Chain A
Amino acid sequence: MSRTVLQVRNVTKRFGGLVAVNDVSFDVTEHSVMGLIGPNGSGKSTMINMISGSFAPTAGSIRLEGHELAGKPAHKVARLGVGRTFQLVRLLPELSVLDNVIAGAAFGHRRRWGAEARAHALTLIDRLGLTAVMGMPVSALTYIDTKRVELARALAGDPEVLLLDEWLAGLNPTELGTGIALIRSLRDEGRTIILVEHVMDAIRSLCDRCVVMSSGTRIAEGTPAEVLSDPEVIRAYLGDDDA
C-alpha cells in the first residue's frame, strides 16, 4: 500500500443554511489519480475549493503530508504543494504563454526564478505540446491550448497534489483523446492527481480510485468499475427508475 499524501477527514461546508459538503472523508495515495465524481451540485467543486484554500471548511480537517490545510489562505496552501486548474479556464491575458507558465513556477511549492524558472517553464511548454503556439497572445489560443497553458502553470510549481477541476470538459472527441493521454502521462510520471470529472471514458481509463458524491455526502468509494456499477451511484445519476 503506498503512502497517503492527502487526508480529508469529516469535512463539512455550510453556506448559511445550505450544507454543500456533509462530513466527507477520503484519502489520496501517492502517484495515483483519485476521481471525484457525482451529479451537478453534489459538492465536488466545493470540495476542490476547500482543498485549494479558496475557502475554509466549516468543520473537519484536510492534511497534506502532515500539514493542516483547512483554514489556510490559498497562497499558503499553494506553497505547501497544492496546484490547481479552474473549472472555467483562467489565464493571465496580458502575459505571454511563457510568462503564464513562469507565474506558476515563481511563487509555488518549489520556487524558481530567473533563468531556472524560464528553463523549467520551457520544459513544461515542450512537454505539453505548446512550443508551436508559444509566440501567440493567449487570447488567440485554441480552447485546448488555453487548458494546456493552465495545466502547465499548475505543474510549474511542482505540486504534491494536482487538482484538475473538469479539465476535460468542453473538449471535442479528438481533443478529448489527446487530453486523456496527457493526464495519463502525468500519472505515469508519478504525479498525484485529484480529478473532478463528468466524462465517463476519462474516469474509467484514468482513475485508480473514485469518490462519488451526491447532495454533499460521500455515497461510494472504490475503483471506477466498482463505483460505476454501484446501484446507489446509478440512482444518484439517473434517478430511481433506472437503478
Chain B
Amino acid sequence: MSGTDWRNLAISAALLGLAALLPVYGSPYWLTMGTTMAMFVVLATSWALFSGPTHYISLATAAFFGIGTFVTGLGFQSLPFWVLPPLAAVIGAVLAALVGLVTLRLSGVYFVIFTLGLAEMVRQVVTWVQNQTGHRGMYVLTSITEREIYWMLVALGALVFLAGWLIGRSRLGFALRIIGNDETVAKHAGIDTALAKVALFMVPGAVAAATGAILAPRYIYIEPSTAFAPLLSFQVVIMALLGGTGRLWGPVAGVIPFSLLWEAITRQAPNQTLLLLGIAFLVIVYLLPGGFVGLWERFRRRFGGRT
C-alpha cells in the first residue's frame, strides 16, 4: 500500500469512528436521521460498485431490500437475529446471479426496465403467497433498538467500503471499467463479460437484502406494498448519481445533502416529495453530469494543478 492509501485508510477509519459514535452524542432525532442516512449510504455505495463502472442503471434495489425484510419477518422468531442479515445476503446474491444471467445480456434501457419490473414481480409473488395463506402483512416485534440497527448499518457500510476498495484494485474492478467503456473491446481483450457482470451484480443484491433484513425491526409491521416500494430504487439511483459514481466516496456525498433536503421537504410539504425527486434528477442530468465527484475533479484540475 502506498502513502496515499494509508492516509485514505486513516481518514476513512476516523470518519467511521465518528459515525459510530452518533448514538452516544446525538439526540434521538439525529439517530433516526442517521439510521436513514446509513441505510442510503450502504445502498447507494453498493449500487455504485456495479452501476458506476458499467453504466447499467439498476432499479432492482427495492426487490432485494424487500426480500431482506421478509427474511427477517419470517425468520426472527425461529433464528437468532444475527443470522438473518447474512442469510438475506446469500439469498440476495443468488437471486442477483439468476437475474444477472438472464438480463445482463440486455443492454441499456432494456436492463433498466427489467430491473424495475423485477421488484414489482417479486412484490406480486409475495402478495399472492400471502393471499393464499390468508396473511396481509406481518409484525416484526423484536427487542432490537434503533441504536443497534444503526450500528449494524455502520458495520455493513464499513464492509461495503472495504469490498469496494478491494474490487477497485482487482482485475474484476478493472474488467468492469473496460466493459463500461466498450464491451466489444472487453470481449476481444479476453474478458468473460457475462461472468464479470454477474459476479459484480451480486454485490449490490446481497448488500440490499442484508440492509432490508437489518431494518425490518424498525418498521415493526411489514407488507409487500411498503417493503417493495419502487420509490426506494429511484432514491438510491438519484443519491448515487448526485454524489457521483467515479469515486468510492461519491454516493456518500450525495446521500447526506439529499437526505437532509428530503427530510425538510417531507416535513414542510409532504405532497411535494416526488417533485423534489424529479427536480434532483434534472439538476444532475443538466448541471452535474459527474455528480459532486465530477465537480470536485473539475475544481481540482483548475485550481489544484495536481490531477
Contacts and interface: CB of A to CB of B under 8 A. Distances in A.
Interface of A: 52-54, 73-75, 78-79, 83-84, 86, 90-95, 99, 102-104, 106-109, 111, 113, 153, 157
A231 B242 CA distance: 65
Nearest to B187: A74
14 contacts: A53-B187, A75-B189, A75-B193, A78-B190, A91-B185, A92-B178, A92-B182, A93-B181, A99-B174, A104-B189, A106-B175, A107-B175, A111-B190, A157-B189
- Secondary structure at the A interface, as helix, strand, loop or mixed, is loop
A157 B178 contact: no
A94 B180 contact: yes
Interface in B213-242: none
Given A107-B171, A113-B171, A153 B189 contact: yes
Contacts of A79: 190
Contacts of B185: 86, 90-92, 103, 153
A90 B184 CA distance: 9
Contact of A95 (B175, B177, B184, B193): B177
A84 B189 CA distance: 9
Contact of B187 (A75, A104, A109): A75
A124 to B, nearest CB: 14
Contacts of A99: 174
Nearest to B307: A135
Nearest to B180: A94
Contacts, number: 69
Contacts of A74: 187-188
A73 B191 CA distance: 10
A92 B184 CA distance: 11
B148 interface: no
A99 B189 CA distance: 13
Given A103-B174, A106-B174, A78 B180 contact: no
Given A94-B177, A113-B171, A78 B184 contact: no
Contact of A78 (B174, B181, B182, B188): B188
Given A75-B193, A106-B171, A106-B174, A92 B187 contact: no
A95 B181 contact: yes
B189 A103 contact: yes
B263 interface: no
Given A103-B174, A113-B171, A108 B189 contact: yes
B190 A109 contact: yes
A168 to B, nearest CB: 20
Given A94-B177, A95-B177, A107 B190 contact: yes
A104 B177 CA distance: 13
Contact of B181 (A94, A104, A109): A94
A93 B177 CA distance: 11
Contact of B178 (A52, A78, A95, A111): A95
Contacts of A109: 190
A78 B189 contact: yes
Contact of B191 (A75, A83, A91, A93): A75
Contacts of B182: 90-92
A99 B182 CA distance: 13
A106 B174 CA distance: 9
A193 B186 CA distance: 21
A93 B178 CA distance: 10
Contacts of A107: 171, 175, 189-191
Nearest to B55: A94
A75 B190 contact: yes
Q: Closest 4 CB pairs between A and B? A: A107-B190, A78-B190, A92-B181, A74-B187
A73 B189 CA distance: 12
A132 B177 CA distance: 25
Given A75-B189, A106-B171, 20 more contacts: A52-B188, A53-B188, A73-B187, A75-B186, A75-B192, A78-B188, A83-B188, A84-B188, A86-B185, A90-B185, A91-B185, A92-B182, A94-B181, A95-B178, A95-B181, A103-B186, A103-B189, A107-B191, A153-B185, A157-B190
Contacts of B174: 99, 102-103, 106
